[in-house]
Amino acid sequence: MSILAKIRNRSGLLVGIIALALLVFVLEQAFQSKNSFFADDRTKVAEIAGKEVNIQEFEARVEASLENEKNKSDKPLDETTIDNLKSQAWNQLLFEKIMQPHYDDLSITVSTDELFDMVQGKEPHSSVKQAFTDPKTGEFNPAQVINFLKNMDNDKTGATRDRWLKFEAAIKQERIANKYNTIIKQGFYVTKNEAKRDHISKSKTAKFTYLVKRYIDIQDSTIKVTDADLQKYYNENKNKYKQESRTRGFDFITYDILPSKEDNTNTEEQLKKLVDEFKTVTDDSSYVNGNSDVKFAERYSKKGELPPMLDTVVFKAQIGAVMGPYFENNVYKLAKVMKIRMSSDSVKARHILIKIEGTDTAKYMTRADSIKNAIKKGKKFEDLAKLYSKDPGSGAKGGDLGWFAEGMMVPSFNDACFKGKRGDMPIIKSQFGIHIIEITDKKAETPKVMMAIIERNALPSSQTFQSYYQKASEFAGKNTSVELFDKAVLDQNLNKRIAENIKDIDKNVNGLENSREVIRWAYNEDTKKGSISKVFELGNKYVIAILKDIKEKGVLPLESVKAAVELEAKKEKKAEQYIASFKGAISGASSLEQIASKVNTKVETVENQTFASSSIQGLGREPQVVGTIFGIKANIVSNPIKGESGIYVIKVTEVKEASTEKNYDDAKKQLLSGMKNRVDYEMFEALKAKANVVDNRAKFQ
């Protein structure tokens, strides 16, 4: 048998062996990692209504949002903007995944003709109107829409067409959502009886007197509750302790890494080495920018505006003199007298602004010269300013800008005014256009100095970082329980901070920059309650945290909410005491005043209470009391009522009935409008709850 035939015959066996080995390897990795086939898919960012969403789909949406935002501005996106765009992308994903099946079930679509009408019809979409409205006239121009659509393919990159198609998709989706919501809204109806009840609840009023014994008047320390009391209250009120997402709580301490004495000395020595060279350089601004932590700022200062250390010497110094190094506001500085001049503190001027349209600047400069010549020949400046100036603020006032300090205007305008003399009429160009300026008055000139200042922050050295790290590591190594952690904080007089109810998707913890790493630690499956973290380096801090609280989604166990349950259970005990006290006082009493004297309280009065309001003037929200007011007969003393803030006894003294109406059309419209206004939000929230959304975004951050 040839070698080729042997290989062919044995290839099946060989492939089988390789396949078996590969399967064993995959299974081994799966069990080790608790992922892949036998756990949540590592690429699943969410599950919505039983359907998985891949991380690639979500990231594509985020990337599209980021790209769209970048196209709007040349500035780089900051972290807050990026986070907001990610949240928007998530919310849009949720909306589409939850709502699209409902749209499909009802076959809600937008036809081609309908889309055409939304773009080019008589009543185009509001966004189309906004984009193609002439800013000068405020008029929408349909011809511009058609012209844009005809020419968008002139962009050979295809970016213009791509953006337009995305825009069309967005307005189509909006129209579909509006149709669905309209169907829901059209299903609402308010009966005459409903409108009548609503009218009565808002118009019928009651005057009543009351007694109250407030829970807060009994100190919690005097009330004893048993474990059985806590369990009973918890069992009866579990829904109070239900949360929609899991949270973590941890305490943490920080070691702020500050420069050592040696670090400060080194920084000062570095500046001392620059003194001789700084004295001789001619390009001071470039030298500052090359050697300072803060860029050069061109600014003249008068006496009294500089720090005391400089203010006493620079106005007597020669140009080129160098002062320092000196320490100011935790920064080491080296200062050089760069320029000295006589200058006014403020100038009064007026101007005529000529806008430049297009690229022919010379044309508009010639126009400015003509206006200036007309002024010289006797035309009034203020008249020409009202006629020609494009500055809406000053033009109506004859161009008058009033008094302004140095630095308030753009540089070219500022320099022309402060370097010129009273009566000068320079013509200058700025980013706003061409200005014909007349300097009408100036304050008296005083000496002003421009300083070139090199600033250096003293930074912690690697040795300083290592010293703080050793302290932090020693703390983390020794204090490995909640008890030890808290004791060490007290013994070492450290500042312990508390982070409560931190969600897995949160990016930061108050007081800690770039703290996502700490949040990931708190949610790691190996981090148990009472676990102490490694030493985290966050900016110029070393951070150590200890996990104090784990709360999962759903009804929280009694142990997690024991403190809150204890407060409520004690409130129940107080209520029992007050109710017993009131019942004893009511027996044999003929008035609220008699009851008040027995329970050591006083009678209060409230007028014009309505059933529609669950709050009572001076008492706050008390729905049980309001319900009783409109449920008992007048001049009858009520039984004790357990309210939100205390136990009440009331007596209704007067009732003003609501006016009768021939019809309740206005009330019906008001009720119906309120119902419809809630549809968009409440309908989606209800469907979202039904969709059982599983949010795994935290795994990918």
Provide the mean pLDDT of the chain: 89
Residues 62 and 85 sit within 8 Å (Cβ to Cβ):
yes
Count other Cβ atoms within 10 Å, centred on residue 511: 14
pLDDT at residue 138 in the model = 76
Q: Which residues pair with 243 in a beta bridge?
A: 554
Mean pLDDT throughout 576-604? 94
Q: Inform me whether the pLDDT recorded for 194 exceeds 90.
A: yes
Range of the domain at 334: 261-343
Q: Inform me whether the pLDDT recorded for 14 exceeds 70.
A: no
Would the pTM count as exceeding 0.85?
A: no
Q: Inform me whether the pLDDT recorded for 129 exceeds 60.
A: yes
* Span 433-451, pLDDT tens digits: 999 999 999 998 889 999 9
Mean pLDDT throughout 52-73? 88
Could you tell me if 358 and 331 lie in one domain? no
Quick one: which of 345, 346, 343, 350 has its CA closest to 423?
A: 350
The b/e string for 10-32 (b: 16+ C-beta within 10 A; e otherwise) is eeeeeeeeeeeeeeeeeeeeeee
* Span 346-359, pLDDT tens digits: 999 999 999 998 88
Could you tell me if 614 and 625 lie in one domain? yes
Could you tell me if 567 and 652 lie in one domain? yes
* Span 110-127, pLDDT tens digits: 999 999 999 888 888 988
| Position 335 in a domain | yes
| Position 448 in a domain | no
Distance CA(504)–CA(275), nearest Å, equals 53
pLDDT at residue 393 in the model = 87
Any idea how long the chain is? 701
Structure tokens at 683: 């309908």
pLDDT at residue 37 in the model = 37
| Position 569 in a domain | yes
Could you tell me if 271 and 331 lie in one domain? yes
| Position 83 in a domain | no
Residues 612 and 202 sit within 8 Å (Cβ to Cβ):
yes
Residue 319 CA from chain centroid, whole number: 49
Mean pLDDT throughout 381-402? 92
* Span 660-696, pLDDT tens digits: 887 888 889 999 999 999 999 999 999 999 999 999 9
Structure tokens at 585: 């006082």
Element spanning 545, H or E: strand 541-551
Domain boundary residue among 140, 156, 186?
186
| Position 531 in a domain | yes
| More confident site: 491 or 699 | 491
Q: Inform me whether the pLDDT recorded for 498 exceeds 50.
A: yes
Domain boundary residue among 309, 343, 377?
343
Quick one: which of 193, 222, 253, 247 has its CA closest to 472?
A: 253
* Span 529-563, pLDDT tens digits: 999 999 999 989 999 999 999 999 999 999 989 99
Domain boundary residue among 383, 414, 442?
442
Q: Inform me whether the pLDDT recorded for 2 exceeds 70.
A: no
Say how many domains are in the chain. 6
DSSP 133: B
Q: Inform me whether the pLDDT recorded for 342 exceeds 50.
A: yes
Could you tell me if 361 and 421 lie in one domain? yes
| Position 311 in a domain | yes
Distance CA(245)–CA(551), nearest Å, equals 9
Q: Is the dihedral of CA 547, 551, 556, 557 positive or negative?
A: negative
Q: Inform me whether the pLDDT recorded for 589 exceeds 80.
A: yes
Cα–Cα distance list, 44 to 37, 54, 100, 359, 658 (Å): 13, 5, 20, 54, 59
Could you tell me if 357 and 435 lie in one domain? yes
pLDDT at residue 5 in the model = 36
pLDDT at residue 590 in the model = 85
Place of tokens 């121009």: 141
* Span 240-255, pLDDT tens digits: 999 989 999 999 999 9
